[in-house]
Amino acid sequence: MPRLNHSPRPGASLTVLGIETSCDETAAAMVRISQGAPTEVLSSVVLSQIDEHAPFGGVVPEIAARAHVQTIGSVVTKALRDAEVGAVELDGVAATAGPGLVGGVMVGLSFAKGLCLALDLPLVAVNHLEGHAVSARLSEDAPYPFLLLLVSGGHCQLLEVAGIGAYRRLGSTIDDAAGEAFDKIGGALGLAYPAGPALERLAAGGNPARFPLPRALLGRAGCDFSFSGLKTAAARIAESLASDAERRDLAAAAQSAIARQLADRTARAVDIYLLSHTPEQRRLVVAGGVAANGVVRAALQDLATSRGFTFLAPPLAYCTDNGAMIALAGAERLAVGLIDDLDVVARPRWPLDAEAARLAPTHLPGRKGAKA
């Protein structure tokens, strides 16, 4: 459990190193926050392990953990050097403590603990999802509260974000995450992992109406998502395709079906959000790797415009996993005095809204488990 530091530093400028190792990117960044001034990303280093995992068609946990061990030292050193900030100017070290592949999480978290011990700095154990939640604030004026759609390879959920550490989950996936659907359908179309960006390129110019795909949950009450039916249907069609034109059309159909579902569920969350927020608080933020997709962004932008919401999306570099979002979450926690003990553990599962997890058993293993 995070504990309240005795010296919260609201108002002061805070410089924090952030470390991210929960999946297949070894990342570190330096971020500075100062009251009344825009957030400064002083450096951001992201080293992808994609080439090592590509032959296996997905991320292999053991390979990921070993690769993090090999590269964490040089990635953190480069982040410190690029920022031209000495260790003495650091106010804290933040590291992803979960959810994710626990071997990798342990590498980054242990490295951060070592730095904190050596430099006598506070440690902030950051929930990876909280990193995505604040990612738009790295580059945009995105004051709290806002409605958040978090769509990545491992997660798909809608949250009301009242402030750092204050989340209410409105909906989540009942099976696959949206990024997983992109990756699996792309894989069936012969694209290398992670297939989301390549599927977007393949879909350009394709006809999304050629192949009808299941319209899961469309128009249904609630804000939950489901992508497994769509994924299976698209993969089955992919097996029978002969031409590149057909592959383009199927990619376009899948992409538009995913975007349509994301916008439909978000529209329902907008209704719920409006019940307890003022017109001035109409802000919709999208975050996570799938937020890099142009068709998804356009669908959400249209929804936001039609409901009078400001639409905010991080630049592409901050949509996918990075250290800057972890550093910012850490800095915001530090600013309100939230730090962690050095014996904090790495957590493979860690829902963002602890209260909802306690009240509803949807975070148990299995259906609505890890990906929720």
Residues making contact with Zn ion (CB under 5 A): 152, 321
Dihedral over Cα of 127, 199, 260, 293: its sign: positive
Task: Give the Å distances, CA to CA, from 92 to 29, 89, 233, 269, 304.
Answer: 12, 9, 48, 35, 36
**Pairing mode, strands 92-98 and 40-48:** unpaired
Q: How far is the CB of 320 from ligand KG4 (least distance, A)?
A: 3
Q: Nearer to ligand KG4 by C-beta: 58 or 337?
A: 58
340 binds, among Zn ion, ligand KG4, none (CB under 5 to 8 A by kind): none
For residue 158, report the phi and psi dihedrals to the nearest 5 degrees. -110, 130
Query: To 10 degrees, what angle do helices 294-306 and 244-275 make?
Result: 30
Q: How far is the CB of 34 from ligand KG4 (least distance, A)?
A: 27
Contacts of 240 (CB under 8 A, 6+ apart): none
Q: How far is the CB of 155 from ligand KG4 (least distance, A)?
A: 6
Q: Nearer to ligand KG4 by C-beta: 182 or 339?
A: 182
Q: Which two tokens stand for residue 160?
A: 């009301």
In a 3-state reduction of DSSP, which class is residue 74? helix
Q: Nearer to Zn ion by C-beta: 72 or 129?
A: 129
Contact 47, 71 (CB under 8 A): yes
332 binds, among ligand KG4, Zn ion, none (CB under 5 to 8 A by kind): none
Q: Nearer to ligand KG4 by C-beta: 23 or 230?
A: 23
Contact 213, 232 (CB under 8 A): no
Name residue, tokens 């936001």.
304
Q: Nearer to ligand KG4 by C-beta: 50 or 87?
A: 50
Distance of alpha carbon 188 from alpha carbon 168, whole angstroms: 35
Binding region for ligand KG4 (CB under 6 A): 23, 152-154, 179, 182-183, 194-197, 200, 288-290, 292-293, 320-321
Q: Nearer to Zn ion by C-beta: 140 or 321?
A: 321
Q: How far is the CB of 18 from ligand KG4 (least distance, A)?
A: 15
Identity of the residue numbered 71: T
Q: Nearer to ligand KG4 by C-beta: 196 or 330?
A: 196
Q: How far is the CB of 195 from ligand KG4 (least distance, A)?
A: 6
Q: Could you tell me which of 146, 147, 154 has the C-alpha nearest to residue 170?
A: 147
323 binds, among Zn ion, ligand KG4, none (CB under 5 to 8 A by kind): none
325 binds, among Zn ion, ligand KG4, none (CB under 5 to 8 A by kind): none
Helix, strand, coil percentages, rounded to 5, for the chain = 45, 20, 35
Q: How far is the CB of 90 from ligand KG4 (least distance, A)?
A: 26
Q: Nearer to ligand KG4 by C-beta: 75 or 121?
A: 75
Query: Which helix H or strand E contains 312, and what residues bound it?
Result: strand 310-312
Alpha helices in the chain (DSSP H): 50-53, 61-83, 102-119, 128-134, 178-188, 196-203, 228-239, 244-275, 294-306, 316-319, 323-335, 354-359
Distance of alpha carbon 173 from alpha carbon 183, whole angstroms: 16
Q: How far is the CB of 91 from Zn ion (least distance, A)?
A: 25
Q: How far is the CB of 193 from ligand KG4 (least distance, A)?
A: 8
